Amino acid sequence: MPEFCSVERDGKITIVTINRPKLMNALHPAANAELGQVFDDFCADPDQWVAIITGAGDRAFSAGNDLKATAAGGGSVEMTPRGFGGLTSRYDNDKPIIAAVNGVAMGGGFEIALACDLIIASDNAVFALPEPRVGLAALAGGMHRLPRQIPQKQAMGMLLTGRRVSAAEGLELGFVNEVVPQAELMAAARRWADQILECSPLSVRATKQSAMDGMKAPSVEEAMSLRYDSVHKLLKSEDFIEGPRAFAEKRKPEWKGR
């Protein structure tokens, strides 16, 4: 059983809850390694199509790196191959992951959320990359993901000052998809997950891989000319036939994910 998180599988949805509420769900190397294994299992499970990650308690999604553990280790920061929270260096996952941010998402906690595909925030959520204020840097992808997800000047304003941004401002800037009252957060995240599940899982994965990998190309023309394994798999799938057939027969499609 996981020690630093809990995992619930509800139908085709995996719900991962970081479970260190007394430390505002800050993560140390052992917790990062555990989360890495949890998301390895999610990615490998053909019956799990969408994941939601959140934090235990009502104060924090994750306050980021456990600085006390870092100080006890002589200041060294040990990182697992899959990155902070098992997600920030996970570049080969084509399944959608939703961050349900309940409260503080600071440093590595914000970087986990930025590594997800959607961010649903409670109205008391707070986001920041405050590493420069403690002599560190947002090395788990924050310095690179944030300028790619919001306008550059706004991103640099956050990065260079370490300032805190509310959920409402995050929505305005564009890195938050929806803001809801805290009591409604998980229901809202489930609503987004359920909408994804209405779509073909292979179509969703082909779309995610194409969108993310295509951004590496210098032009739309070159992005469209690249080969995407998930697209190739979709075109050869049963779901590729089922979708148009269900539409013609005026019924809901029965997706198989193959």
Active-site positions?
111, 131
Distance CA 50, CA 20 (A): 23
Amino acid code (one letter) for 147 = P
**Best CA proximity match to 53, nearest among 107, 5, 11, 2:** 5
- Residue holding tokens 């009502």? 58
**Best CA proximity match to 175, nearest among 215, 207, 148:** 148
The separation between CA 199 and the C-alpha centre of its own chain, rounded to angstroms, equals: 19
Q: Are 15 and 62 in contact (CB under 8 A)?
A: no
Bridge-based pairing of strands 97-101 and 50-55 is parallel
